[in-house]
Structure 1
Amino acid sequence: MSLTDALRLLLRHWKLLLAVPLALGTTAFLLTRHEKKVYTSETTLYTGIASGYTLKGNAETDFFTTNNAFDNLLNLIKSRETKEEVAYQLLACHLQMKDQLDPALLNWNSLMRLHGLLPAELRRRLTGPTQAATVERVRAYASANDTNELYRLINSFDPVYSVDALGHVNAARIQSSDLIKLDYEAEDPAICRHTLLLTTEVFIGKYRGLRMDQTATVIRYYEAETAKALQVLNAAEERFLAFNRDNNIINYYEQTKYIAGEREGLYADITKIQMQYAAAKARLGAIEQKLAGRNRALLSTDELLQQRRELEQVQAELARQQLYGRLREPAAPADVPRLQARIGELTQTMRTTLNDHYSQLNSVEGIPSKGLIDEWLRNMLETSDNKAKLDVMLRRKQEFMEEYHKMAPLGATLKRIEREIELAQKTYFSLLTSLNDSRASQQNNELTTDLKVVAPPFLPLHAKGGKRLMLVAGGAFGGFFFVATTLLGLGLLDKSLRKPSLVAARTGLPVLGVLPPPAPTPPAPDSYADSALDHLARQVIRRASSQDAPTPYAVGVISTRRGEGKTHLVSSLVARCQRLGLEVVAAYPEGAAPDAQASEYPPVVAAVQRWPLARITQNRPAHLLVVELPALLEDTYPVAPLPELHLLLLAVRSSRVWEPKDGQALQDIRSLTAAPVEAVLTGVEAYESRELLVQHESRPRRPRLRLAFWRRRATA
């Protein structure tokens, strides 16, 4: 569909395009004649979410975190709990006034309206000594059940106290700033302002409580867990202290290190003393073998043995004192010199005893006995000294072994206790760090949840512009748009043969002319119907008046279906040709003749008996023969006269759709005759025939053919 076609379609239905918008606009105007005045107020709050200051410094600009925080805040403002709490407080504030009007909170009409909503007895029961008490009573009564007056009021569509009305509190972030804007509209300007105040107070309190409750719960958890961890740590340290005290441990690792070092030194000393003792003992035995007789017996005297035993005891005590003193164990510092002096005395005493009992100067081998006895005395002193040291060291070795057997299992136990202490300490420090972080987060929440009201709500003095004009204009425009869209849509979906170009494109036949819808009266001169009939008649006469056209000229009028306007086409064509002075004979199927004087023929009999054209037209002389044939797809039509026809006119109704079976019927009829087939579009509106009639009318008109032409042609 072209733009011209669309405009023509809209212009054709201009009455509908005007009537529907006018009706809708008038309806909207009448329905909004009682529109109430509405007042609007707004408030602005600073949140500090995106660029505020916290305990850690300036807030980090995280896009997703910031959007999430603003979404939480806006959803909290729009939540049902916030709306219900605002409704409770608003109603309680108005009930608290009783019959004393406060213009800053509501006007007289709103107060009277409240009295009509709630009975006096219920208002008296809900009103408390203070506003806080009234709020508690209102909240308790509304939540008691779902059948009382207050519950139904809160959940109704009341324009002031319902959750639905408070849902009109709009909250939005101002661009990408830290500001949030709230606006509300109501019929009472005081209620409009007061509702915004209460909404701000309620949602700020809920927001702060929500944030603080989160951190408070976490803090309580960490406090309890930190206390438990501290008890576990203290218990582990007490076990560690008791273990060290019970086992005389000052520093286990230093003690074991010292014992290991002393043991290694002791083992080396033992080896050295054993070697010295073995050497001294061997030398002493050799000397005793060299001494013989009375000299050897001298060594076994009671006095000498007594002195020797005492010497060994003193040497053993000295060795013990020296060893334990080196190991830093308790010992009397004055005992070592005393013992050394006593050893010197005993050595001298033994030397004197040996000298007193000495009776033989030379030995058997010729070595002086005096020298052997002195050497024996030195080796005996060295042997007894080494033996005493060795005995003390062996006892000390045994003590070391006992100490090792004692300290070895203590290390594993002590290690386990230390691991318990370390684990408890780490757990305690971790929980303590988390507790401190949570307390810092709580303090940070106290700072960041302190929303500031930048612009408090104002009391509106002028009503907001009504929506009446917009509704009227919207209704009118919507009606126009709906009708225009519907018409254009139907036009685009229309597949009918509404104009000659579509007929030529879909049927493949040239269009001879168009025929307007039947009218009860003859067409007026120079009208569209008169021009269409004149054009159609001229086209037929032009073909019948050509040099090779036979006389009479036979025209057949066909259609694929009934109701295509064949009879109207034949009668109109005959009337116009007769008006031009031609002799025309028309033949109609039985029951289709427009008047009693018209000629009719039986189609079934003519088809069965193969009537020729002359019999169908009853051999009536004429210049032009017009025969109407029955519908090709629905009736029986005679085939015999088809080869005698000189022109076939296919009548096609403009409101129908051309289908494949119509094309097949046309192919069948064209196979039976050599006459050209042209289409005539019937029932065409004037604006649809312009492409054919204007083109024809733009040509110079031919003079009307007179009867004399046909007479001359017949004579020739």
Structure 2
Amino acid sequence: MFLLCSITLAVVTSFFTRNLPKTYETQTEIFTGIASGINVDAVDNVKVDFLTSATEFDNLINIIKSRETLEEVGMRLLVQHMMLDSADPAYIGQEYWGHFRWKIPDSVEQELLVPYSVDSTLTNLYRYKELHWDDDRVKSTFEGGDSPYSWKRISSIGVSRVQSSDLLRIYYSYQDPGIAQNTLLILNEVFMSKMALIKSEQSASVVGYFEEKVNEAARALAAAEEHLQEFRIVNRVINYQEQTRSLTIEKERMEDEYQAEIAKQQAAMAALRKLEEQLALNNIMVQLGNDILNKKQELIDMRSKIAELETYLNDADLLRKLRAKAMHIEEEVRNMLATRYAYSRTTEGIPVSTIISAWLDASLALDAANARVEVFLKRKQYFREQYDKYAPLGSKFARLERDIDIKEANYLELLNSLNQALLRQRGEMVSSGGQVVTQPPPFPHDPNPSKVAMLIMVGAIMGFVVPFLFVVMKELLDSTIRTPERGEEQTKMKLIGAYPDLTARSEVKNVDFEWLHEKSAALVVQNLRLEAKGKGSRQMAKNILVFSTREGDGKQLCTHVMANELVSLNFRVLVMGPKELPKGETPYYDYITYKNDKDFVNAEHITELIPMGFDPMLYDYVFLVLGAVLTNPYPLNLLDQFNVSICVTGAFRNWNRADATALEEFSDTLGFQPRLLLNGVEPDYMSSVLGEIAKDRSWLRRFIKGILSLQLKTGAFGRGKKRDTRQVKGRL
């Protein structure tokens, strides 16, 4: 079957490929500069990222093989042919020129063609395709699989990277050499322009975004700086840190001077009180005292003005005049005091002039101290007002400066990103413009070698491999018992024999089924006799129990075959079964039908199942056929009266846990392990039981079998059906 399928498919392939047209292949190589080209970002040291390089190559290949690119190539190829007046082998041969004229008649060409303008003609062609997209001629031209202008046909181009280099190889084959060459020439132009457009648009959008953001950040920074400037002008702040520092220093220095002046004032007050206690004024000197007091008050006022001038202003001339006037008033006071106390002494006897002089000094010192203290108090009020002004300005000034710092940092970051984007844009433009066609597609003069032989060989191999894989998968996926080996492995019972599937006569005609039936029956009976002898060699009758775990395993038929074979060996056989024998089966033994009822289940002895007129002691073998033990009850008291037990199982079904459980319980009740009789085995699997199967083999089959089995003598395989049936029966 495998050889026949292989030869058939090879012949069919040869028939359909006998008129394959010749094809011409050309190729081009392009230097991309992706991995080793110059990089604007790092001119001196270019680091190669293999993953990035692979991605770049994948992008480039996908753009080349994209439908949009291939459609434009087909359009431009058609425009090129429309520009021709006749067939030119450099562009299109005579045969395909006829196809072109059929696709583009003169009327259509006159409507679309713009002489000496490829772009205008291309625009008209795009518009014509969109308007007549449902036209059969347009579909066959731009969608047909054989049209040189179809993107489906051009998509057969091959694109690959040359090893690990920067070179990209593109190859294309077509039945016309001029079309093949010009298709690649146009493809190079189209995809290079597309790559440049994609790179520029991609980087332009990024650059535009950062330019917009940089302008926004610049405007925000300028607004923040203007706000700070207005704040300085309104609040008269030139340098906040220096001004507040100077104010703090001046305040501390003034506070020290103020405390010192307070101490002088207290000392002058104490001295004045002591001197006034020592003076005793009389009525005569009162008037003079009042005059002195008036002069004193005038002197106090003069000293206050001098102190104020010393603190706030720096007018030297005015200050000198005031000091001279103050000295003059002071001299007048001294003279008046001298007159007043010229003749007086204190109560302690101290001359009044001395006390008066001391009192005057103390009084003048106290007046001067009081004047300076009052000035210091006004100064303190000034510093308090300045502190109240600068304290809230500090936090707001800090917020304004922090806002400027944030906006400035944002502006610088965006400006740096813009510079990087511009640099990347320039790099993309350099890299996209760095693609160079290192090998233009040459004109292919010689056609490609014919692939007919290779296709026929592939067809022959597929014709052999596909059926072979089908058979192998069928065998691997088949969970049925199938073979005697699998039957013993799955049921855990020792095989007593196997019976073939006789219904396969029409499928396997070369098998000698008569011989196979006789051989299988003889082997089963031979093993049955050995088993019965081992179980009860002294008994006259051999009681044999035949059962199955399920219905439909063929235990009735197998019992019929074993009984007839025993009769042919001159044994007397009795068979008891729950069903009538099938029509067409001739028994040469005695057959009894029993009812599977409660009497049968409760039977104590095998004689209870045999009707009158039958003596079980007259038989050499007595068979009892039970129903399926998995679904039917069976007589437990009769099981110990049987010497041999045979479990009939169909090779056409699987063995599962229910079968194993039922067999285990039945074997425990029986007291010994039953033997397995596998029914319905495919003829080819009977070789593991009977040895070589008699078949009618041709000399080719015998030769192949000899090679595969390493048995080169043809006598080892037999001659199939050309055997004497009488000799076979004699050997049985």
- Band the TM-score falls in, shorter-chain normalisation: 0.5 to 0.7
CA distance in 2, matches of 1:665, 1:121: 87
- Structure 1 contact 46–179 (Cα < 8 Å) conserved: yes
Contact 1:41 1:185 in 2 (8 A): yes
Gaps of 5+ in 1: 1-12, 325-329, 498-504, 510-516, 518-528, 541-557, 574-584, 586-601, 610-636, 645-655, 668-677, 697-716
Question: What letter corresponds to residue 68 of structure 1 in structure 2?
Answer: T
The residue matched to 1:352 in structure 2 has which SS? helix
Q: Distance in 2 between matches of 1:680 and 1:254?
A: 117
User: Deviations for 1:108-155, whole angstroms, at most 9, x for unmatched residues?
Assistant: 333332221123322222223511112222223334564245466323
Q: Of 46, 51, 54, which aligns to 2:31?
A: 46
Deviations 1:561-604 (A, max 9, x none): 8999x99xx9xx9xxxxxxxxxxx9xxxxxxxxxxxxxxxx966
Q: 1:684 to 1:71 in 2, by over 3 A?
A: closer
Correspondence 1:463 to 2:452: no
* Amino acid in structure 2 at the alignment position of 1:202: V
Identity in percent:
28
Q: Relative to structure 1, is the Cα distance of residues 375 and 239 closer, same or farther in structure 2, using a 3 angstrom cutoff? A: same
Secondary structure, in 3 states, of the residue corresponding to 1:300? helix
Distance in structure 2 (CA, Å) of the matches to 1:489 and 1:257 = 96
Matched, 1:430 2:416: no
Which is higher, the Rg of structure 1 or of structure 2? Answer: 1
What CA distance in whole angstroms lies between the structure 2 residues aligned with 1:452 and 1:240? 57
Q: What pairs up with 1:656-667 in 2 under 5 angstroms?
A: none
Q: Are residues 1:125 and 2:108 paired? A: no
- What residue identity is the alignment partner of 1:111? W
Counterpart residue identity of residue 137, structure 1: N
Quick one: which amino acid aligns to residue 126 of structure 1?
Answer: L
CA distance in structure 2 between the partners assigned to 1:679 and 1:235 by the alignment: 106
2:545 is matched with none
By how many angstroms is 1:237 displaced? 1.0
Inter-partner Cα distance in structure 1 for 2:234 and 2:57: 64
Counterpart amino acid of 1:123?
A: E
CA deviation after TM superposition for structure 1 residue 242, in Å = 0.9
Alignment-derived partner of residue 297 in structure 1? 286
The amino acid across from 2:272 in the alignment is L
Distance of 2:153 and 2:367 partners within structure 1 = 116
Please give the alpha-carbon distance, in whole angstroms, between the structure 1 residues aligned to 2:202 and 2:186. Answer: 24
Task: With the length of structure 2 as denominator, give the TM-score of the two structures.
Answer: 0.65
User: Is 1:271 aligned with 2:285?
Assistant: no
TM-aligned CA distance change 1:683 to 1:21, over 3 Å: closer
Cα distance in 2 between the residues matched to 1:605 and 1:62: 90
Tell which deviates more after alignment, 147-156 or 367-376.
147-156
Q: Deviations over 1:279-326 (max 9, x none)?
A: 212322332332222586366344x445434432332233223333xx
Q: Is the 8 A contact 2:496 2:675 kept in 1?
A: no
Q: Deviations over 1:533-561 (max 9, x none)?
A: 9xx9xxx9xxxxxxxxxxxxxxxxx9948
The answer to whether 1:106 aligns with 2:76 is no
Q: How do 1:511-530 and structure 2 match up within 5 A?
A: none
| Aligned-residue offset at 1:178 | 1.9
Cα distance in 2 between the residues matched to 1:248 and 1:342: 40
Aligned match of 1:476 in 437, 445, 460?
A: 460
Where do 1:581-660 residues align within 5 Å?
A: 607=590, 643=620
- Alpha-carbon separation, structure 1, partners of 2:379 and 2:296: 24
State the 1:367 CA deviation: 1.0
**Aligned equivalents of 2:652 and 2:398: distance in 1?**
104
Q: Which amino acid aligns with 1:355?
A: A
Contact 1:143 1:151 in 2 (8 A): no
2:36 aligned counterpart, secondary structure: coil
Q: Is the 8 A contact 1:43 1:181 kept in 2?
A: yes
The answer to whether 1:446 aligns with 2:429 is yes
* Structure 1 residue 175 displacement after superposition: 1.8
- Taking the TM superposition and a 5 Å limit, the aligned residue runs for 1:59-458 are 59-95=46-82, 97-101=83-87, 103-129=89-115, 130-144=117-131, 146-148=133-135, 149-150=137-138, 153-294=141-282, 297=286, 300-302=289-291, 304-324=292-312, 331-332=314-315, 334-356=317-339, 358-450=341-433, 451-458=435-442
Aligned mates of 2:276, 2:323 — CA distance in 1 = 26
Q: Distance in 2 between matches of 1:124 and 1:473?
A: 50
Native 8 Å contact 2:158 2:171 kept in 1: yes
Paired letter, 1:132 = D
Alignment partners' CA distance in 1, 2:221 and 2:467: 85
Q: Is the 8 A contact 1:142 1:151 kept in 2?
A: no
Between Structure 1 and Structure 2, how many residues are aligned?
Answer: 557
* Whole-angstrom CA distance in 2 between matches of 1:384 and 1:88: 113
Q: Aligned partner of 2:46: which letter?
A: A
Cα distance change, pair 507–117 in 1 and its aligned pair in 2 (3 A): farther
The CA deviation at 1:41 is: 1.4
TM-superposed CA distance for 1:98, in Å, is 4.6
Amino acid at match of 1:392: V
| Distance apart, 1:77 and its partner CA | 1.6
Given that 1:496 and 1:658 are in contact with CA atoms closer than 8 Å, whether structure 2 keeps it comes out as: no
Distance in 1 (CA, whole Å) between partners of 2:314 and 2:171 is: 96
The one-character-per-residue Cα deviations of 1:414-446 (angstroms, maximum 9, x if unpaired) are 222222212211221121111111111111212
What is the letter of the counterpart of residue 316 of structure 1? S
- Tell me how far 1:692 sits from its aligned partner: 13
CA distance in 2, matches of 1:695, 1:167: 56
The 1-side partners of 2:591 and 2:330 are apart by: 178
Cα distance in 2 between the residues matched to 1:442 and 1:183: 31
Contact 1:42 1:183 in 2 (8 A): yes
Alignment partners' CA distance in 2, 1:680 and 1:399: 130
C-alpha displacement of 1:490? 9.2
1:194 offset after TM fit, Å?
Answer: 1.8
Offset, 1:161: 0.9
Change (3 A) 1:172 1:293: same
Structure 1 residues 416 and 477: CA distance shift in structure 2, 3 A: closer
Equivalent in the alignment of 2:491: none
- Change in 2 beyond 3 A, CA 1:559/1:389: closer
Q: CA deviation at 1:20?
A: 4.7
Structure 1 position 63, deviation (Å): 2.8
Specify every segment of 5 or more residues in structure 2 that has no aligned partner in the other structure, as ranges.
Answer: 485-493, 499-505, 507-514, 527-555, 571-584, 593-613, 622-649, 656-662, 664-673, 679-688, 719-732
Deviations 1:504-561 (CA, angstroms, capped at 9, x unpaired): x96559xxxxxxx9xxxxxxxxxxx9xx99xx9xxx9xxxxxxxxxxxxxxxxx9948
Contact 1:141 1:150 in 2 (8 A): no
Change (3 A) 1:299 1:134: farther
SS of the residue aligned with 1:229? Answer: helix
In structure 2, the CA distance between the partners of 1:682 and 1:452, relative to structure 1 (3 Å rule), is closer
Per-residue displacement from partner, 1:434-463 (whole Å, max 9, x unpaired)? 111111111121222222222222222211
2:17 to 8, 12, 32: 32
What secondary structure does 2:20 align onto?
A: coil
Name the CA distance, whole Å, in 1 between partners of 2:386 and 2:471: 113
CA separation in 2, counterparts of 1:695 and 1:102? Answer: 69
Change in CA separation of 1:489 and 1:170 when aligned onto 2, cut-off 3 Å: closer
Quick one: distance in 1 between partners of 2:691 and 2:652? Answer: 14
Report the CA distance between 1:241 and its aligned residue: 0.8
Q: Secondary structure at the match of 1:34?
A: coil
How large is the Cα RMSD of the aligned pairs? 4.9
Return the offset for 1:381. 2.0
8 Å contact kept, 1:307–1:346: yes
Alignment match, 2:553:
none
- Shift in alpha-carbon separation, 1:486–1:76, aligned structure 2, 3 A: closer
Distance 1:333 1:71, change over 3 A: farther
Q: Cα–Cα, structure 1 residues 76 and 490, in superposed 2: closer, same or farther, change >3 Å?
A: closer
